[in-house]
Structure 1
Amino acid sequence: MRTLAYGSWPSPIDAALAAAHDGHPEYVGLVGDEAWWTAPRPTEGGRRTLVRRTADGTEQSVLPAPWNVRSRVIEYGGQPWAGATVEGEPLVVFVHFADQRLYRFRPGAAPEPLTPVSPVGGGLRWAEPQVRPDRGEVWCVLEEFTGDGPDDVRRVLAAVPLDGSAAQDRDGVRELTDARHRFVTGPRISPDGRQAAWLAWDHPRMPWDGTELLVAGIGEDGTFRAPRTVAGGPTESVAQVEWAPDGRLLYASDRTGWWNLYRDGQPLCPRAEEFGGPLWKLGHRWFAPLESGLVAVVHGRGATTLGILDPETGEVVDAAGPWTEFAPTLAVHGDRVVAVGASPRSAYEVVELDARTGRARVIGDPHDDAVDPAYYPEPQIRTFTGPAGRDIHAHIYPPHNPGCVAPGDTLPPYVVWAHGGPTGRAPLVLDLAIAYFTSRGIGVAEVDYGGSAGYGRAYRDRLREQWGVVDVEDCAAVALALAEEGTADRDRLAVRGGSAGGWTAAASLAGTDVYACGTIIYPILDLAGWATGETHDFESQYLESLVGPYAEVPARYAERSPTEHADRITAPFLLLQGLDDVICPPAQCERFLARMAGRQVPHAYIAFEGEGHGFRRAETTIRALEAELSLYAQVFGLNPPGVPTLELTK
């Protein structure tokens, strides 16, 4: 055991290792007896591949580079693939990121396009495909740009011929609905094939504010009849809908303040916990009905677990195993449930649960300890008290290294991590980016500030018209509490975040004196610009609820924007941005830096070619992590070995 200063501990977890393990499996599905899912490939340009696990347990990536299975619908994407067994063989359709076309694929053959390329604006985009061999079609969400502006767009449910006849012909795509609603999810077809159910919502609502559950009859010719609203509304969020095997409608609604499950309008398991979540990506799935009538559920308060719900008794039996967090993706076939689970000691892996026996096992992307797990952080689940006595949920990751301790008269530096969204949450899982810092002697505090998902609607609503206030206050309250209790060094606190978290980091530097420095990653910095055309359609009116109606309170937009108050920022900062980001575009960073010019505040700006909103390439993650560590080293007086020095300018 060596005694070394905090921040100077040698660690086997370098930036390259953290980058190689960035991302996790998503969008699980069952094609006959085979489990399929998408998986990240950070060292292959950040693409996502399609993985197939055959009945004999063999796992293979079925699509080589440069195929990239990822949809751009609402920019955050959604379910990008689906499959069915046809004539005893898998038939899969998927969206290729580069051109957003829908492709048909049979293992062993080259993918063939099913949809055309549109020269208009963002083109044609597809999500939540469902293979309908009985009709020779794929039913899915179509997002179609009608002009060059981000809001020149329409969304409908559509049917694409499986025979490729629409590959060069937009008119060959059959529209199933009109475009009366701005946003729609993919249709769920009743067991008898006679009805379809889907969700819809309109500006200025976000899907966690209020959605409508629509049901329409399906004619013999495959056309939809006039839809009717059966649940939801402006203040009720229905997060997901499915059909039970007996033809009854199941959905997750937050009408009581928590996303609970309902069957034909009746609650199945009323609890003060979530059986749903924010619909950031089309195709998120928190529950899946089994043929037996039971329902597989991802549920919890804060962290989530996988369980089996008996709708007749309301009882839930949770799967045994080491996993303490499950992603919102499920697939079922017979008594088999396939999910994606993780824990503070293991990254996300594909898990199969036998609903009859309760036995769960890893079947894909198994966690592999790339280093001695003794270097992994040991998180603490904490609840802090914020302004007005409100609770603030957080995960605290103290510095941890099996071979090092710090001198007994010193306290460690801490970095407060603000998650994105802001309607999101920090999952309690192994993240080597966190371990990169904690194993060197820098603590991390992930704060689920007011507005975060997972704790009920009232907790989410704390941020209504208070963005830039409540999130900043809650992060500061956690940071100061850690210092006051003797956990963190008061003079060596930092704040970092990406996207909405980047906003909170920048707003914290502009509005408080808590932090000695900050890392701001693909942020929102200018509210007025973001509200008037600088972002994509999905979030273009998000600020109406987060800040207030722009037409009514324009001064509030200026009052809270870091760009308008660059003169208040005195702490050094690092700004990281993808040049292909259409959600938080580089123009926001450029305006902010122009306001900082000549102010003699040490800072660095690194812009990455080919990166969008959320870094995906290994080389980007490496440079970003090393730059961030170098910032803390220079500001906090640390000496981490082997880290390139970040040049700070004034």
Structure 2
Amino acid sequence: MTHEPRPAPCGGWPSPIDAALVAAHDGRADHLRAVGEELWWTAARPEEGGRRALMRLRGDGGPPAVVLPAPWDARNRVMEYGGMPWAGAARPAGGPLVVFTHCADQRLYLLEPDAPGGAEPRPLTPVSAVGGGLRFADPVVLPDRGEVWCVMEEFTGDGPTDLRRLLVAVPLSGTAAEDRAALRELTDGTHRFLTGPKPSPDGRRLAWITWDHPRMPWDGTELRVARLTDDGRPGDPVTVAGGPEESVAQVEWGARGEVLFSSDRTGWWNLYRCDLTDDGAGAGPPAPGPAEALHAAEEEFADALWKIGMRWFAPLADGLVAVVHGRGDKRLGLLDPDRGVLTDAAGPWTEWAPALAVQGSRVTGIAASPARGYEVVQLDTATGHCRVVAARHRDPVPPGHLPRPEPRTFTGPNGREVHAHVYPPTSPDHRPAPGELPPYVVWAHGGPTGRASMVLDLEIAYFTSRGIGVVDVNYGGSTGYGRAYRNRLRGRWGQVDVEDCAAVAAALAAEGTADPGRLAVRGGSAGGWTAAASLADPDRTADVYACGTIRYPVLDPAGWANGGTHDFESRYLDSLIGPFDEETYRARSPLHHAGRVTAPFLLLQGLEDAVCPPVQSERFLAALAGGTVPHRYLSFPGEGHGFRRAETIVRAVEAELALYRETFGLGADRSETLETETR
């Protein structure tokens, strides 16, 4: 039996989606890989302090199991955003051999889950007291060599950029647990950044990707390949692909020993293969042949390499390649490289994460859609059938309370395209009162070289189910739409992103979708910069926004460029704004334009944030001292860049709703009332 929704003021609709439900469903499965016939991955645990649990799905059809109890936390802080935290190898007897990084001390640990009595993990790497210590990521377990090969990040001083990164071999025996000298260095640290090692199946070659300041990995990288000696030492490497304006995002080995890689040399990340030959003596570096495009298309077969170990494609033994591809959202497909034929997998999933695992003819990934949260999904390439094998979606609330998003392309300044996802207010019980247009919040994603995916997100539904619309903007600079689209932000961060978000907001108001007097802007990290810059730039935004939510933001690029952030992004502003110039950086800074902010705002900050340190938020508030702008500042001890703990997520979401309710005239919880004085 159905009923007609009743008219009610937007923003005050009763909803079954509370902040606790949002927190409980925060995060998703990640870091998926195969270990023989088993699947392993990490899973977020907001209710356990935000740790990531290590999960195991045996090949016997049983349910997945948590391998290690709290407080074990399978994460690392390499490049601060972390990289692939574990690896495993199947053994003929005794069960799998697994290594993982533990976030609390950043050490690499050995785990034998089937050992008698359930053996405790034992450390393989030492702790360093220098700076940020020793960190490890993207490991490869090589039982025949008795080693784990991985990326090591080693701090050499107390500053955030006092470090080196290189590939190392870690003994499985544990002899390096207290001895840094026992870590065998495979590279010499010539390059500032590199991805994890990829030994060829025959053990004769090693591939990896490098880049250096001031480039970011989506600007330009180099694919290196070296010959391996019998004792596992790389020779002189040769550059197979890449350069200052060519981004190679991933490398793998094909079924015939060829190199497979993704490159954006045409303006789109497409897949290529390259055959290698050795010199007659077999002693020199391998010689690369010409690179062959496997499926030339104006769509992306990779994305921005924010974390080491992301995997957008995976070769199968029969020569096919599983690929995650698309324009904007990413689908799973099977590519026949010899014929150039690409066939997409069937099913309701519209967004696949860069985490593919291959077992024979089976491909497993992590996928979602606007109606389904992320699930572990397996494709049988022999039958074409997909099935959920773990983390199955369960509707947390009746589907009628969930928004049905619409992908839109808006017109920005100078006629440029701006991509966005519109999430209208949705409730089975209520609709806007007669003559009422709903309020809308413009979401600006982080990065800024990143992308908002159109998938089920209970944080969005928390607002839409109460009658507040959301529009998630993939402003110029976002990935998923080719290199030219993401290069729009070069030199214009704080301008193009601000203009594009404002253009989308204005378009929704002009077409009668949103109330022009009840628009807000919201973002975290780089999106926090966009939100703050929007509020501090009334000339560019023309008073579009009634209020804003600023989460762990960049606010002062000059401070960021002068040792105020971590190494990975310490030269990011060279491309986003330009080489350091005090006047230019101050002119672009929300901090130095804080006096122009007139709209109420909420500022949320983690106190352990090494990417966007709290000092920037504190300076922003100090610049407002004595003013009359209503605002609220909430800081969270123990939280870094992005919120992981359930109690933090609950507090942040509830405070954000309170901001909109008060600003939009919907009635306020007095405990959340905005202030005009910084405390």
**Fold in common (TM above 0.5):** yes
1:146 aligns with 2:156: yes
Which of 51, 66, 73 is the matching residue for 1:68? Answer: 73
Q: SS at the partner of 2:71? A: coil
Distance 1:346 1:2 in 2: 27
Deviations 1:602-621 (A, max 9, x none): 00000000000010000000
Deviations 1:303-331 (A, max 9, x none): 00001000011111111111000111111
Indicate if the aligned counterparts of 2:210 and 2:223 stay in contact, CA closer than 8 A: yes
Q: SS at the partner of 1:97? A: coil
Indicate if the aligned counterparts of 1:7 and 1:639 stay in contact, CA closer than 8 A: no
Q: CA deviation at 1:639?
A: 4.0
- Which 5+ residue runs of structure 2 have no aligned equivalent? 275-290
* Equivalence for 2:18: 14
* Equivalence for 2:53: 49
Q: SS at the partner of 2:473? A: strand
* Equivalence for 1:91: 97
Q: CA deviation at 1:555?
A: 1.4
Q: CA deviation at 1:643?
A: 9.5
Distance 2:181 2:660 in 1: 56
Q: For the structure 1 residues 38 and 643, does the alpha-carbon distance in structure 2 shift closer, same or farther, using more than 3 Å as the test?
A: farther
Which is worse superposed, 206-215 or 186-195?
186-195
Q: CA deviation at 1:554?
A: 2.5
Distance 2:671 2:629 in 1: 21
Distance 2:672 2:164 in 1: 48
* Equivalence for 2:649: 621
1:403 aligns with 2:429: yes
* Equivalence for 1:115: 125
Distance 1:248 1:51 in 2: 32
Q: Which amino acid aligns with 2:308?
A: L
Indicate if the aligned counterparts of 2:610 and 2:641 stay in contact, CA closer than 8 A: yes
Q: CA deviation at 1:638?
A: 1.3
Once the two structures are superposed, the pairs formed by residues 464-613 of structure 1 within 5 Å of their partners are 464-512=490-538, 513-550=543-580, 553-613=581-641
Indicate if the aligned counterparts of 1:630 and 1:643 stay in contact, CA closer than 8 A: no
Q: Which amino acid aligns with 2:665?
A: G
Q: SS at the partner of 1:329? A: coil
Distance 1:100 1:570 in 2: 44
Distance 2:406 2:255 in 1: 41
* Equivalence for 2:661: 633
Q: SS at the partner of 2:90? A: strand
Which of 416, 421, 424 is the matching residue for 2:442? Answer: 416
Q: CA deviation at 1:355?
A: 1.4
* Equivalence for 1:161: 171
Q: CA deviation at 1:380?
A: 0.6
Indicate if the aligned counterparts of 1:190 and 1:196 stay in contact, CA closer than 8 A: yes
* Equivalence for 2:378: 352
Deviations 1:255-312 (A, max 9, x none): 0000000011110000000001100000011000000000000000000000100001
Q: CA deviation at 1:190?
A: 1.1
Q: Which amino acid aligns with 2:527?
A: G
Indicate if the aligned counterparts of 1:323 and 1:342 stay in contact, CA closer than 8 A: yes
Q: CA deviation at 1:548?
A: 0.4
Indicate if the aligned counterparts of 1:191 and 1:246 stay in contact, CA closer than 8 A: no
Which of 212, 218, 232 is the matching residue for 1:222? Answer: 232
Distance 2:667 2:438 in 1: 13
**How high is the TM-score relative to the length of structure 1?**
0.99
CA RMSD of aligned residues (A): 1.0
Which of 7, 26, 29 is the matching residue for 1:3? Answer: 7
**How high is the TM-score relative to the length of structure 2?**
0.94
Q: CA deviation at 1:590?
A: 0.7
Distance 1:304 1:643 in 2: 43
Distance 2:209 2:423 in 1: 38
1:32 aligns with 2:36: yes
Once the two structures are superposed, the pairs formed by residues 378-457 of structure 1 within 5 Å of their partners are 378-457=404-483
Q: CA deviation at 1:230?
A: 1.1
Indicate if the aligned counterparts of 2:7 and 2:434 stay in contact, CA closer than 8 A: no
Q: SS at the partner of 1:530? A: helix
Q: CA deviation at 1:631?
A: 0.4
Which of 235, 242, 246 is the matching residue for 1:232? Answer: 242
Distance 2:365 2:119 in 1: 28
Q: CA deviation at 1:333?
A: 1.7
Indicate if the aligned counterparts of 2:627 and 2:676 stay in contact, CA closer than 8 A: no
1:241 aligns with 2:262: no
Distance 1:630 1:354 in 2: 47
Which of 101, 106, 111 is the matching residue for 1:105? Answer: 111
Q: Which amino acid aligns with 2:332?
A: L
- Which 5+ residue runs of structure 1 have no aligned equivalent? none
Q: Which amino acid aligns with 2:75?
A: R
